[in-house]
Structure 1
Amino acid sequence: MSLTVVANRVPIRKTDDGWKTSVGGLTTALLPVLEEQGGVWVGMGEDPDLPECQQYPEDDPDFLVRRVPLSDEELDNYYYGMANRVLWPVSHYLIQHLELRERFIDTYRSVNERFAKAVLDESPDDPDEIIWIQDYHLMLAPRHIRDARPDAVIGHFWHIPWPAMEVFRILPWSRELLRGMLGCDLIGFHVDEYVDNFIESAEVLLGADVTENTVTLDGHTTRVEAHPIGIEVDRFKKMAATEEVKEKADKLRNRLGTDNIVIGIDRLDYTKGILSRLTAFEQFLEENPDYHGKVSFYQIATPSRTKVESYQQLKREVDEAVGRINGQFARDNWVPVNYRYRTYTQFELCAFYRAADAALITPLRDGMNVVTQEFITATQNGALILSELTGAAYLLPEAIQVNPYDQGGLADAIKVALEMPDEERRSRLKGLKSTVEKLDVHKWAQHFLDSFDR
């Protein structure tokens, strides 16, 4: 078997020291397969100076990187437009952020067709070749590949939530997008809820025949399965156990000078619930004056999609909330909210995970949210407060689960986490760690590929 991976981005980047592999769960999971068995990785080309085709590594190639060059206009309409202002908000049930513009879908169609052509040009027409497409950027590509190569083996993994049928059908192009996806032989989602939502969408909107987890349309059958993704557990364990991480965690605790530290680590995205979380922490401080000077909330927000107006507006609102809370509650030696709008390495984040007594991971809607698993792997005795509207919540019942829209419930959950008896904390964390071990990203990739044989 050889593998063709089709994703929005390629897995390598140019540095001052030459070409390096990118950091990320997908790269971590799939590069070992490509290195062992060979194949192709197709992704968009944002820089016109980079080669369209590139063997990697250059001195002893394991696989081919094939870029699909995009103009600035195409990038704006396909990526910042259709992907981030249409498919992203509708998949997270935040339809107030929808921008339904014809130029978005027109460019999305043409870019998906060009991705499909790149796959057909570079991947062998071989029954042992698996074409594995990733995420919401490439919903139409499977149908183009299927039409040109009827016997191709095609899979697709959807990395974010799939919404309820009633929400997905809001899109004027919902049926076209579904038909594109159903060019696959196998589609994977994080959890059964998303599987059920997709199958209902296909049945109701397209009139497809459905039997258990299979969908048949126009004579072609697609299996739809849950394949929850994980992180590279061993690497995170080793990072969290280093003396450098331990020292950084101790320094953070000493610098903040409080008995309790609660962390939030997210991209600055309106789906992540950062603003609601800050408001809940504000209510916690109002209701629990005994904790003044004794608890610090450390929120890291990684810059994201800074060209999109809704993200710019969110940054302004978060900045205002942080200023308001600190202005009301701060003392000479205590700042209740420590806010950092910047990017940290995974190694640096491990120190925050180890230093924290609790993690507040409360998206308004989310897929698997791998930050959850990173915290569980790295922490030694932390409590996890987790939104029940994440895919992760289905797999992690030991977390303190909350409705992220319930501000009072969030405030109460913070107190529950900080006052949890040690024995209960250890018991919950043991169950969480056991589950995360089973979700390891390498196991996820192998399980998905094995599903083609099943």
Structure 2
Amino acid sequence: MRVPGERAGSVPRRAGDERGRYDLIVAGERVPATDPDDSVDHVDAALASLRPFVAARRGAWAAVPDGTAPAEADVLTTDGDGDEARLGSGLLRSLYHHQPAEFPPGWFEPYEHANHALARAVAGSAGPGGTVWVHGHQLQLLPRMLRRMRPDLATAVHLHSAFPPAESFSRLPEHRALLAGLLGADVVALPHHRAVDNLLDLAGRVHGLPVRDGQVAVGNRRVRVLACALPADTGGMRRLTRLPRVRERAAEIRSALRVDGPVLLSIGGWDPADAVEQRLHAFDRFLAEHRPEPGTVALLHVACGEPRTPEELEQRELVDRHIAKINGTHASVGQAIVHYVRTGPDRRELAALYLACDGLLATPVHHGTLHGPHEFVAARGARGATVVVSELTSGATDLPGAITVNPHDAAAFAEAIARAAGCSGPAPQAGIAPHEPALDVWAEHVLAAVRARAAAPTVPRPRRVPPVPGHTRPPLPERTVLRPVPPEPGRRTDVH
């Protein structure tokens, strides 16, 4: 799809732009904080930690403007207002997080225009043969636009949420444009293999594109789709827990709780897929079955962010009511049993929360990756860490000693909480997570894959097979060429 005013192969210029300044441009929904410790989620923290990595490679940052970020030397400026475009990003986020999402008429046009404005800024500032690394839902059209404007650029798009099944994604009328935008990249990186399978299924079975060996043939080139999850910043969390002010804050939190026994930590947003409601049901059942005295065990729930959809607003009301019910039933005067905080902790506060609590409940109900348990174990160190994780997540087997549970099974979940609280013997301790690459090593791996894919020679355009609804696409058959059979020696061939 071509945006009005876009000409295939054109290289836009903007007043004040200096062509060829940057060898690497990282584009995302927002520019990360200068200090990673000021970040409020793991993606922002990781990108902020990569600022020295990007600067060392003559890099810059680009994002849809939000009117709040101060001007910085290494940040590209773009025209337009990104507020309307963020509506589309939020709707796509709901779709990727398995939430109901109603896409109103007209949502796609501002989303498309925001992508085009950023594409022009990037195309006008990237050096010859440079690399563009796109992050997030808001810029899914950007890779294809850049390919039309600057075919010399190598492009990767990185989605940090699970790609939905083809049946869910294809309900969106604009799914063809969104998929075409993603497949404009040389590499599409997703958090785990199930997400990769979903995208390949959409490209092959629904859209009829040839798929083989984790690659999608688009015209005369191939797009590599790989599982490359963002690693947990365990090193950064260990560093934070050694800071005196973080340790002091952890002591303040623990003292304010006034709990002699274990404190379990729960952190989640308002996305129903975070399974906060299931955690509260299980904790309520644990209290009813084991009847611990107030002050001997507690749950600290930290709710992050503000509701962005009607479903999330309803989720907040459910959580509010359920916590009030638990405290009304099981707490005593002056001693809550569920401590409830609505705040978006930065990394320093998060490290203090990890130090102040003994166990962590991290139990989403859909397939995804978990950074919290890895960071929690790293933060606790020799103090020991009890972790309850969901068996539905891709990282459930990565932490030896973690308690694994199906969050939909209330009885098993309540028993898992009892084990974490030490009601049935010593609480099991999660071991050190397997070695994960440092963020700069991980980033270099992704960029090397992009450069290798972009440098690969083009291939003859494969024949497109029309989709067959409800059936898996068969492999492309070998084309048979019929040749005349020569006559046997000495045999007469009559022509009539």
Q: TM-score range by the shorter chain?
A: 0.7 to 0.9
Is the CA contact 2:268–2:304 (under 8 Å) kept in the aligned structure 1?
yes
Aligned length: 423
- Which stretch of structure 1 is more off in the superposition, 184-193 or 270-279? 270-279
Is the CA contact 2:200–2:216 (under 8 Å) kept in the aligned structure 1?
yes
SS of residue paired to 1:37: coil
What TM-score do you get using the length of structure 2 for normalisation? 0.79
1:90 Cα deviation after fit:
1.9
Counterpart in the other structure of 2:262: 260
Partner Cα distance (1:326, 1:112) in 2: 48
1:335 Cα deviation after fit:
1.1
Counterpart in the other structure of 2:76: 66
The percentage of counterpart residues that share the same residue type is 26
1:452 Cα deviation after fit:
2.8
Q: Which runs of 4 or more aligned residues in structure 1 lie more than 4 Å from their structure 2 counterparts after TM superposition?
A: 19-22, 48-51
1:134 Cα deviation after fit:
0.6
Q: 1:298 to 1:439 in 2, by over 3 A?
A: farther
SS of residue paired to 2:302: strand
Q: Does 2:67 match 1:47?
A: yes
Write the letter of the residue equivalent to 1:84: G
Write the letter of the residue equivalent to 1:145: L
Q: Does 2:51 match 1:31?
A: yes
Q: 1:406 to 1:21 in 2, by over 3 A?
A: closer
SS of residue paired to 2:336: coil
Is the CA contact 1:159–1:367 (under 8 Å) kept in the aligned structure 2?
no
Partner Cα distance (1:185, 1:244) in 2: 45
Aligned with residue 399 of structure 1, among 399, 402, 422 = 402
Q: How does 1:70-89 map to 2 (within 5 A)?
A: 70-71=80-81, 75-76=83-84, 78-79=85-86, 81-85=87-91, 87-89=92-94
Q: Deviations over 1:183-214 (max 9, x none)?
A: 11111112111111111111112211111111
Q: Deviations over 1:123-147 (max 9, x none)?
A: 12x12x1111112111111111112
Is the CA contact 2:36–2:46 (under 8 Å) kept in the aligned structure 1?
no
Is the CA contact 2:162–2:195 (under 8 Å) kept in the aligned structure 1?
yes
Q: Deviations over 1:275-315 (max 9, x none)?
A: 221122111111111465421000011223x4543333322
Counterpart in the other structure of 2:387: 384
Name structure 2 gaps, 5 residues minimum.
1-21, 453-496
Partner Cα distance (1:167, 1:49) in 2: 35
Counterpart in the other structure of 2:324: 323
More helix by share: 1
1:122 Cα deviation after fit:
1.5
Partner Cα distance (1:395, 1:218) in 2: 39
Q: 1:291 to 1:390 in 2, by over 3 A?
A: farther
SS of residue paired to 2:75: strand
Counterpart in the other structure of 1:4: 25
Q: Does 2:411 match 1:408?
A: yes
1:371 Cα deviation after fit:
2.3
1:404 Cα deviation after fit:
2.4
Partner Cα distance (1:21, 1:123) in 2: 29
Partner Cα distance (2:69, 2:327) in 1: 47
Is the CA contact 2:37–2:348 (under 8 Å) kept in the aligned structure 1?
no
Is the CA contact 2:98–2:273 (under 8 Å) kept in the aligned structure 1?
no
Partner Cα distance (2:69, 2:391) in 1: 45
Partner Cα distance (2:358, 2:110) in 1: 47
SS of residue paired to 1:100: coil
More strand by share: 1
Counterpart in the other structure of 1:185: 186
1:345 Cα deviation after fit:
2.5
Q: 1:248 to 1:29 in 2, by over 3 A?
A: closer
Q: 1:346 to 1:296 in 2, by over 3 A?
A: same
Is the CA contact 1:184–1:222 (under 8 Å) kept in the aligned structure 2?
yes
Q: How does 1:20-169 map to 2 (within 5 A)?
A: 23=39, 24-47=44-67, 54-55=72-73, 64-71=74-81, 75-76=83-84, 78-79=85-86, 81-85=87-91, 87-94=92-99, 97-124=100-127, 126-127=128-129, 129-169=130-170
Name structure 1 gaps, 5 residues minimum.
14-18, 56-63
What TM-score do you get using the length of structure 1 for normalisation? 0.86
**RMSD after superposition:** 2.5
- Which stretch of structure 1 is more off in the superposition, 325-334 or 179-188? 325-334
Partner Cα distance (1:201, 1:371) in 2: 30
Counterpart in the other structure of 1:205: 206
Partner Cα distance (1:385, 1:393) in 2: 9
SS of residue paired to 2:172: coil
